[in-house]
Structure 1
Amino acid sequence: MNAVAAQVSSVSALPPSDELDRGLRDASPAEVIAAALKTVGRDKLALVSSFGTESAALLKVMAEVDPAIPVIFLDTGWLFEETLAYRDALIASLGLKDVRSIKPAEETLSREDPDRDLWFSDPDACCRIRKVEPLARALKPFSAWINGRKRFQGNTRADIPVVEDDGARLKFNPFANVSRAEIEAIFVRAKLPRHPLVVSGFLSVGCMPCTSRTTEDEDSRAGRWRGRAKTECGIHTMKIS
């Protein structure tokens, strides 16, 4: 069997996403992660985390199910030092066993962003070379991935299912149904450390040039790409092949 045929065979062997979504519509986050693990196995399942302001809650739930599930972290080259330190702290405190820090291809950066100003002139292109393309590369070995989007975050996330088809693989959204209060309860119950920038007014943290503080009356993601129509980096708005 050639490589293309093998991939087609692998994809066709996965259960339909809508069928899984119906079965997990009212499931807890832990139950969704356990179902993902049972569906494809640990070697074919990855969790993608930004190690942002709410990430510890999902990572905690995953660690309780299986701390050896691979975790993909996109180190874009523009992250806050506090985010990198937070990543290391959570790896240690939660006992995560397989965190993979993925960086953009140096050749691509040299060709498309030699002056490191692409974030200003074309933020979509910057996200593509620093997040979308590295994630596509990192997910190649996997049949399914887990992420931390929630419906309460609004915009394109308001109607996300618990399980969806992401082209070549399944995509599990175990926190789709949770509320902000439920996430806070996980932090309190497990005594999880907070992202260091939260106390400074950053309620959602991405890359330094495209992240700003938010006020109490703003949406938590209002500080991302402030002043632009852009609300997503692209990893959740296009199929990852």
Structure 2
Amino acid sequence: MTLGTNKTQELRRKAAKLNEQFAGLNARQILSRVINGGVAGRAAVLSSFGAEAAVLLKLVAEKNPATPVVFLDTRKHFPETLAYVENLTDALGLTTLVRARPSYGQLAVSDPDGNRHATDPDRCCYARKTLPMISTLRNFDCVLTGRKRHQTDDRAQMDVVEVQESWLSINPLADWSLDEVRAYAREMALPAHPLVSQGFQSIGCQPCTQPSEDYRAGRWAGSDKTECGIHITKDGKVRRIGANTNG
């Protein structure tokens, strides 16, 4: 979906205003204004239920456990991740889980043999993540993410508030380091993803994730791919590789 110029400009103005308002605020203060203050409209949380997901979800649950949590169920997740979704939401008292996933009919066209991840991982991500996300999140005005600047080069310069598609993307943990994330998880005794103890530092779909000593190096190992296509890049554009191709 492409927004009209006026709508895009309006969203950019709103993002700029919120970035000014959020300057100097910590994650809890930002979440209070978004979830309870409604400063960005209807809010949802986008979560991968990966290695660090519990931190943002815990902070959100403290503000309002009924906040919608959108889980991108690609139909390629580890069984451990699917179990973790249920266990973590129960542990944190989150009550509104929304599963965004590709239909079998759509996958019959885009990934008929289920092996697109091996031949064209960008198109696989587009079909299994980007399209379901766009369909679900167009019902909200803003989405909270757990992205952090330390994670990838694409994220190093990101703002706390960005424009994506027809909504605002808000990153309250943008300036958290990996050490801070892990320290908070220990302090709060948050349930860990079961694969973390097996050496997985960053966890995505099963075919494209492997254990690794270096953070995120286990995602799409052996390639220069670092993003799955559900977030905007540092130049402010949505990465939607495969949008104009067949299959």
How far does residue 239 in structure 1 lie from its aligned partner after superposition?
3.5
How far does residue 11 in structure 1 lie from its aligned partner after superposition?
8.6
Does the CA-based 8 Å contact 1:168-1:240 persist in structure 2?
Answer: no
Q: What is the SS of the residue equivalent to 1:33?
A: helix
- 1:60-209 aligned at under 5 Å gives the runs 60-209=58-207
Whole-Å separation in 2 of the counterparts to 1:240 and 1:222: 20
For residues 106-164 of structure 1, the C-alpha deviation after alignment (integer angstroms, 9 at most, x for no partner) is 21100121111100111000000100000000111111111010011131011111111
The answer for the alignment partner of 2:219 in structure 1 is 224
Look up the equivalent residue of 2:152 and give its one-letter code. G
How far does residue 185 in structure 1 lie from its aligned partner after superposition?
2.2
Whole-Å separation in 1 of the counterparts to 2:205 and 2:186: 27
Whole-Å separation in 1 of the counterparts to 2:96 and 2:24: 29
Change (3 A) 1:78 1:45: same
- Identify which range, 119-128 or 153-162, moves more after superposition: 153-162
For residues 62-121 of structure 1, the C-alpha deviation after alignment (integer angstroms, 9 at most, x for no partner) is 001111110100110110000011111111110001011121022110012111110011
Change (3 A) 1:78 1:167: closer
Look up the equivalent residue of 1:230 and give its one-letter code. K
One of 218, 233, 236 as aligned partner of 2:228: 233
RMSD of Structure 2 on Structure 1 (CA): 2.1
Whole-Å separation in 1 of the counterparts to 2:66 and 2:12: 22
Does the CA-based 8 Å contact 1:53-1:198 persist in structure 2?
Answer: yes
Whole-Å separation in 2 of the counterparts to 1:119 and 1:96: 32
Look up the equivalent residue of 2:70 and give its one-letter code. I
Answering whether residue 207 of structure 2 is matched by residue 212 of structure 1, we say no
The normalised TM-score by structure 2 is 0.87
How far does residue 23 in structure 1 lie from its aligned partner after superposition?
2.0
Answering whether residue 39 of structure 2 is matched by residue 39 of structure 1, we say yes
Change (3 A) 1:9 1:160: closer
Look up the equivalent residue of 1:58 and give its one-letter code. L
How far does residue 240 in structure 1 lie from its aligned partner after superposition?
9.0
One of 47, 50, 63 as aligned partner of 1:49: 47
Whole-Å separation in 1 of the counterparts to 2:8 and 2:44: 16
Does the CA-based 8 Å contact 1:151-1:177 persist in structure 2?
Answer: yes
Does the CA-based 8 Å contact 1:17-1:164 persist in structure 2?
Answer: yes
More helix, by proportion = 1
The normalised TM-score by structure 1 is 0.89
The answer for the alignment partner of 1:16 in structure 2 is 14
Change (3 A) 1:13 1:132: closer
Whole-Å separation in 2 of the counterparts to 1:163 and 1:10: 14
For residues 201-229 of structure 1, the C-alpha deviation after alignment (integer angstroms, 9 at most, x for no partner) is 100000011001112xx2x1111000111
Aligned residues: percent identity?
Answer: 39
The answer for the alignment partner of 2:243 in structure 1 is none
How far does residue 53 in structure 1 lie from its aligned partner after superposition?
0.3
- Identify which range, 198-207 or 183-192, moves more after superposition: 183-192
Does the CA-based 8 Å contact 1:166-1:240 persist in structure 2?
Answer: no
> How many aligned positions are there?
231
